[in-house]
Amino acid sequence: GQNIDQPTEMTATEGAIVQINCTYQTSGFNGLFWYQQHAGEAPTFLSYNVLDGLEEKGRFSSFLSRSKGYSYLLLKELQMKDSASYLCAVRDSNYQLIWGAGTKLIIKP
Amino acid sequence: TAGITQAPTSQILAAGRSMTLRCTQDMRHNAMYWYRQDLGLGLRLIHYSNTAGTTGKGEVPDGYSVSRANTDDFPLTLASAVPSQTSVYFCASSFLAGGGNEQFFGPGTRLTVL
């Protein structure tokens, strides 16, 4: 079966750094996406990885290791507005996205 | 531009009734998708369309049907609603189905089936 695992909830302090992990087992791999979803809103795209390594985009970075079936999203200089759920999704061999249940990130002042 | 819109925003529906959730995008995206999101679960794909005139079944297609008569519209129909279809429904689109093409999401429809 196909499976995407993420921690259910994480707490971090404003101004700090947090790493959200994602492990996956899917039928094929055609890229990994991270999305942000604020409560009651639609998911919005953050990052895309298809090759191993780190992709940096401002305060957010995403890392991929295909051999380990592992990715992480790194958020630096945390702000209160970063309080949201972070969704990991893998594009499988049928080019469909398989989604994790999301990690709810709580930022404390 | 509006991007991707959904209607209605929310709806309470009696079990056994039918309903169509509407989705329209103005980005000229080829691919469109319908997902449902339930607490504690990831987004689950109901149906998808890689291009106008074609549709495919996702992970949870039973009880739902779709059509893609043109590029812009991708309605989702519940023929005879059941309480287990209570969920938040998101429509999404992407320029193409593969590669690094990100999916853009509509604001969602919150459906309650009683």
The pLDDT, as a whole number, for residue B42 is 87
A99 to chain B, minimum CA–CA distance in Å? 5
The pLDDT, as a whole number, for residue B1 is 59
Are residues B102 and A33, on separate chains, in Cβ contact within 8 Å? yes
Query: Within an 8 Å CB–CB cutoff, is residue B32 touching chain A?
Result: no
Contact A7, A101 (CB under 8 A): no
Query: Within an 8 Å CB–CB cutoff, is residue B29 touching chain A?
Result: no
Q: Which residues of A touch B97 (CB under 8 A)?
A: 95
Which of A30, A101, A102 has the CB atom closest to B98's CB atom? A30
**Scanning the structure block, which residue is given the tokens 């531009």?**
B1
Give residues with Cβ within 8 angstroms of B74, minimum separation 6.
B23, B24, B25, B32, B34, B49, B66, B67, B68, B91, B93
Q: Which residues of A touch B54 (CB under 8 A)?
A: none
Q: Which residues of A touch B98 (CB under 8 A)?
A: 30, 91, 95
The pLDDT, as a whole number, for residue A105 is 98
Contact A16, A71 (CB under 8 A): no
With a cut of 50, which residues of chain A have pLDDT below it? none
Chunked mean pLDDT (size 10), chain B, 114 residues: 91 97 97 96 95 96 97 97 98 90 96 98
Give residues with Cβ within 8 angstroms of A81, minimum separation 6.
none
| Rounded Cα–Cα distance for residues B8 and A105 (Å) | 29
